[in-house]
Chain A
């Protein structure tokens, strides 16, 4: 059974940093690209970032570019999102999502989502 379990969310002050993790199991982790998607309170889904299966290429939405860094450790089946210079508008539930392909630019669908972890940016 495929499982994606996010952790690392919490309350942080504006300008602060936070590192999210996503622990995966039930599939060959190193074979698939992965994504982070967030949902702010009362808002829709917002695409945040993607990483290829080997971790060699990443992509970031303009709203987080230069502040967030996505990485993965294929030896530990874990995905990361390092978030810095956090703003109140970054407050959201962050989901880790699995692609069905190796390269996120293929436009393939995403078949599994984690339960999400809540990040709250507030003073």
Chain B
């Protein structure tokens, strides 16, 4: 059971918009710690996708965006492309555990 809760899977057709939720608690997201998102393609290391809730590193398309409110955060992907098919993980820090925590991961399928 992950400290941060994500849906196991989401799907969408090419060109559509999908969102992935990440629900935490008052000791992590709700405590004000930033949420970061990573994209993980099979056979490659995870890649930073969104940092500090809604910031894209250089090179990440603006089709990817993040938001945070209360004890939850969301990753939105617009204009879905086949290459977006991957696992997505949210990550934050937890003051009760005194360590970082991940969501369980969400598998995105592009139909």
Interface residues of A (CB under 8 A from B): 35, 37, 44-47, 50, 59-61, 95, 104-111, 113-116
Contact = CB atoms under 8 A, between A and B. Distances in A.
Interface in B49-108: 51-52, 57, 87, 89, 91-93, 98-105
B12 interface: no
A45 B46 contact: yes
Contact of B48 (A61, A104, A110): A110
Nearest to B104: A44
A46 B33 contact: no
Contacts of A35: 100
Contacts of A115: 44-45
A104 B46 contact: no
Of residues B46, B52, B104, which shows the largest number of chain A Cβ atoms within 10 Å of its Cβ?
A: B46
A113 B44 CA distance: 10
The size bracket of the interface on B is 20 to 34
A100 to B, nearest CB: 8
Interface string B33-49: 11010101000111110
A46 B57 CA distance: 23
B99 A47 contact: yes
A75 B93 CA distance: 29
A105 B36 contact: no
Contact of B102 (A46, A59, A106, A111): A46
Contacts of B102: 37, 44-47
Interface of B: 2, 33-34, 36, 38, 40, 44-48, 51-52, 57, 87, 89, 91-93, 98-105
Contacts of A46: 102
Contacts of A114: 45
A109 B51 contact: yes
A113 B89 contact: no
Contacts of A116: 45
Contacts of B93: 105-107
Contacts of B52: 109
8 contacts: A44-B102, A44-B104, A45-B46, A46-B102, A50-B99, A104-B99, A106-B93, A115-B45
B10 to A, nearest CB: 15
